[in-house]
Every structure is written in structure tokens, then in C-alpha cells.
Amino acid sequence: MRKAIIIICGFLLLIIGVGGLFLPVFVYFWVREWTSFLLTLGFPFFPVFYLPFTLGLLVTGGGLIARRQWAWYAVQTFWLFLLCVGVLVLVGFNLLSEVMKPLLGGGIQWRGAGNLMLGLLLIFVPAGGLVFFGYARQLFFTVAKEESPWARWSAGAEEQDYQW
């Protein structure tokens, strides 16, 4: 069951990565004037953060499918990153909800629903991913058999290499 979930997570990361690569192209052809305006405002964001993150998702998805050791570390880092971002987004959402209360009115309903959705998406899912991949760690690491350093060496084999 764990292997199936790992492969599904790998395919999801691949799909999100491919979608992340094609999204700017589709948006550019759809709303060209907005795209050029946003790219001039957020120039360092796209090449410095967005593209490496998307390429990282692609590579990590492939590594998860192949169950590579480095992919386990990458996924754990990704979940930890999402958990930290989730905490910051929840704090920011609650701070902004106080500021936006006069504009939206009756802030209790949308604030509670927003906290619930953000908490589930950005706190519960990354924490569950950290726990799941913590338990699935043995699927990514192969344990090497310990062998005595003298087991491969023998005096007879060394003498056969020399021709007297």
C-alpha cells in the first residue's frame, strides 16, 4: 500500500511540475497584456523561484517513482516547506481578516471557513506527509550488508596474480 501511495505522489508531483511549466505559456497566449504587466512587476519571482521550484517538482516526482534516496530527502524538505508556509499563511490570514472586517462584514463565517480550509490544506496535509514518508523511509534506503574488510582478500589470490 505504501509503494502505491509513493508512486501516486510521484505522478502527482510530475503532473504538477509539467502543469507548472506549461501554465505560463498558456496564460501568455490567453491574456497577453496581463501577463506582460505581471512579469514586469514580478521579474525576479519567475526565473529565480518559480522555474527552479517547478523543475524540482519534476525531478522529485521522477525520483519518487524510482524510489531514490535523495527523493525522500527532497519530499521531506518539501513537506517541511509547506508546513512553514502554512503557518505563515494562517497567521497572515488571521491578521488580514481583522483589517478586512469592515469591508466584508460579518467576518466570523468566512474567517472560520478560511481557517479550516487553510489549516487542512497547509497544516494537516504536510504534517501527514511528513509522518507517512517518515514511516516509508525504509523503502527508499537499501541496507548494505556488513562485510569484513578481510573477506575479499586472500594471500592465495594475490599470489596467483603474479607470474613467477
Write the DSSP assignment of the chain as a string of letters: -HHHHHHHHHHHHHHHHHHHHHHHHHHHHHSHHHHHHHHHHTTTHIIIIIHHHHHHHHHHHHHHHTT-HHHHHHHHHHHHHHHHHHHHHHHHHHHHHHHHHHHH--HHHHHHHHHHHHHIIIIIHHHHHHHHHHHTGGGT-PPPPP--TTSS--HHHHHHHS--
- pTM, rounded to two decimals: 0.70
Tell me, yes or no, whether 51 lies in a domain: yes
Tell me, yes or no, whether 65 lies in a domain: yes
pLDDT for the residue numbered 44: 76
pLDDT for the residue numbered 1: 87
Tell me, yes or no, whether 148 lies in a domain: no
Tell me, yes or no, whether 151 lies in a domain: no
Tell me, yes or no, whether 31 lies in a domain: yes
Tell me, yes or no, whether 71 lies in a domain: yes
Residue-range definition of the domain harbouring residue 47: 2-141
% of the chain at pLDDT higher than 70: 77
pLDDT-derived band at 160 (thresholds 50, 70, 90) equals low
Please state the domain count of the chain: 1
pLDDT-derived band at 145 (thresholds 50, 70, 90) equals low
Tell me, yes or no, whether 11 lies in a domain: yes
Res. 63: pLDDT tops 90 = yes
Res. 12: pLDDT tops 90 = yes
Tell me, yes or no, whether 48 lies in a domain: yes
Average pLDDT over residues 40-66: 85
